Structure 1
Amino acid sequence: MIERADQLVLEFVSRVADAAHGRLRPEQRLDFVQRLRAGVERERGGSEDARYVAKVIAGFGTPADLIDREVRRLAAAQQAAQQAADPASRQDARPVGAGDTAVFPVVADDAEPHHGAHPEDGDRRLPPGVIYGRRIATERITRRADRPAPLLRLRRAAMAGGNPMATGGRDARTIFLNNRRETMALALLVVAGLLVPFRLPTLAIFPIPAIVWAAAALTLLACQGWSFSDRLIGLTVPVLAYAVGGVLLGAARSEGGTVQAFMVSFHNVSGVLFILGTAAAVSWLAFRLLDPPHGENGNNRR
């Protein structure tokens, strides 16, 4: 329950940080989520009750409302700073209203090139060494953008659930550490699939992979990090692949139409199908843990 309460806070701050993209500058966004995290912890008062923490989070409002208020606050602060710098502008100034849209200045890395200057050289007032270095850097960045980095999609999937601004730079490793029971269930499913190709002795009448899968099923049913439908998918996909897929493919591959031929064919293909079904179930559950459905919070997943 302690881990669940902490996870609720991290998920809320992460959603607010996502809503701030495109509306706040990076340094403003980082400062805001840090102050918001401190405010939630202050209102939480050290409580580890997930229900109470969820009620505290609900009192702060939606991420969109929080970002709207922060944008208006920054706009008012910017207007006050301009008035302090230019007292003559106070006569025409008016306070920032709730319906006003704050416009932040465009942040440019370099000055615009002078009229007649070559676009690659930028400002001619820069030293020749800086111009040459900028040209080389632009060419390298362009070449890197043309060829995608290896395992780019896999890294993006692993980081889908970990916003580095909301979690202090932590990534998928932290998500799995904060969901130890879910991680244990995934590990048991993987072990059950990996044990299938080995000829292991049975315990009573039960194969060892089936016993490991049963332990994974009990652990999975006790998890709080997935919805019931996701847990049901994780449990049924390997079994359906083993039973239904094994029967269909075994019947298609059996020769002679005898029961003995069918059982031999079923035994040959069902293990492989169980491994494939387990891999699909583990992939789905890991994806749901890293990137839970939008709008799903701790209240409907406890």
Structure 2
Amino acid sequence: MIERADQMVLNYVSRAADAAHGVLRPDQRLDFARRLRARIEAERRGSQDARDVAKVLTRFGDPVALVEREARRLAATGPAATGPAATGRRGVGSVVRGRPRDLAALVVLALAALLVPVGLPAVAIFQVPVLVWAAGAAAVLFSDTWTAGDKLAGAGAPLFGYTVGGVLVGGFQAAEAGPAAFVVRFFEVSGVMFMIGTALGVAWLAYRLLDVS
């Protein structure tokens, strides 16, 4: 399994290097392949699971497109400060066009946080923001874009903020007032902590979704 995962990376980088032949100068081609391999290894984060590596390579996209983008970058003559901004816009545009379901999952998670202060009536025993969060979390978990760790961090951050954040903040502020005061304070702050957790989770998933040079 380890050899298979490593071979997948080597094959991908080799395809990119082959595509760069005749497009980039030899020194540029070597530097491009080296940086690409380093970026893949950073995204891979030591995983030896072939499925995780395949997801990482999928996020990088077509090697030919990477070579074309590198050629455009090298050919650019504008101010250096405009380069990163242009690259970022291309990355966001690519995500919007290619990952609509993943973006929809992020929107649903964000909507769950926005509904917290609205105060909608509960459905059965469940608060509406919790139900919306569950739908967004399910969409994230069933996606084949993020790794298992990314999914756990992004989808679990709102719930973590609600429970752990609510307990810590509420308990700290009502430590000397007794259990009843703690319960009251927990429900006062847990919604805010849920919103903070959601913002952090969505930001992390969005960051991982982008192919940042």
TM-score, normalization: structure 1? 0.45
Partner of 2:16: 63
Does the Cα contact within 8 Å between 1:249 and 1:266 map onto a contact in 2? yes
How far off its partner does 1:285 sit?
0.6
- Alpha-carbon distance change, 201 to 72 in structure 1, aligned in 2, over 3 angstroms: closer
Distance 2:136 2:176 in 1: 38
Amino acid at match of 2:104: M
Does the Cα contact within 8 Å between 1:176 and 1:183 map onto a contact in 2? yes
SS in structure 2 of the partner of residue 223 of structure 1: coil
Answer 1 or 2: higher relative contact order, Cα 8 Å, separation at least 6: 2
How far off its partner does 1:250 sit?
0.4
Distance 2:25 2:172 in 1: 67
Between the two proteins, the alignment pairs up a number of residues equal to 155
Partner of 2:92: 172
How far off its partner does 1:207 sit?
0.2
- Alpha-carbon distance change, 255 to 232 in structure 1, aligned in 2, over 3 angstroms: closer
> Mapping of 1:104-115 within 5 angstroms?
none
Amino acid at match of 1:236: G
How far off its partner does 1:208 sit?
0.2
Bigger Rg, which one: 1
Partner of 1:286: 206
- Aligned match for 1:235, one of 140, 152, 155: 155
Distance 1:266 1:60 in 2: 51
Distance 1:71 1:185 in 2: 38
Does the Cα contact within 8 Å between 1:157 and 1:287 map onto a contact in 2? no
Does the Cα contact within 8 Å between 1:249 and 1:269 map onto a contact in 2? yes
SS in structure 1 of the partner of residue 116 of structure 2: coil
Partner of 1:43: none
Amino acid at match of 2:117: P
Does the Cα contact within 8 Å between 1:217 and 1:235 map onto a contact in 2? yes
> Mapping of 1:206-217 within 5 angstroms?
206-217=126-137
User: Are positions 1:226 and 2:146 aligned together?
Assistant: yes
Distance 2:155 2:166 in 1: 17
User: Are positions 1:191 and 2:120 aligned together?
Assistant: no
Amino acid at match of 1:63: A
- Alpha-carbon distance change, 273 to 65 in structure 1, aligned in 2, over 3 angstroms: same
How far off its partner does 1:225 sit?
1.7
Deviations 1:30-76 (A, max 9, x none): xxxxxxxxxxxxxxxxxxxxxxxxx9xx5893323432454579xxx
- Alpha-carbon distance change, 234 to 66 in structure 1, aligned in 2, over 3 angstroms: same
Distance 1:268 1:233 in 2: 24
Unaligned runs of 5+ in 1: 1-54, 74-106, 110-140, 163-170, 295-302
Distance 1:72 1:203 in 2: 63
SS in structure 2 of the partner of residue 62 of structure 1: helix
Partner of 1:94: none
Distance 2:156 2:12 in 1: 39
Distance 1:284 1:255 in 2: 32
Partner of 1:202: 122
How far off its partner does 1:158 sit?
4.1
Distance 1:263 1:60 in 2: 55
Does the Cα contact within 8 Å between 1:234 and 1:282 map onto a contact in 2? yes
- Alpha-carbon distance change, 237 to 261 in structure 1, aligned in 2, over 3 angstroms: same
Higher helix proportion, which one?
A: 2
- Alpha-carbon distance change, 71 to 213 in structure 1, aligned in 2, over 3 angstroms: closer
Does the Cα contact within 8 Å between 1:157 and 1:290 map onto a contact in 2? no
User: Are positions 1:272 and 2:182 aligned together?
Assistant: no
TM-score, normalization: structure 2? 0.62
How far off its partner does 1:174 sit?
3.6
Pairwise CA RMSD: 3.5
How far off its partner does 1:256 sit?
4.0
- Alpha-carbon distance change, 232 to 65 in structure 1, aligned in 2, over 3 angstroms: same
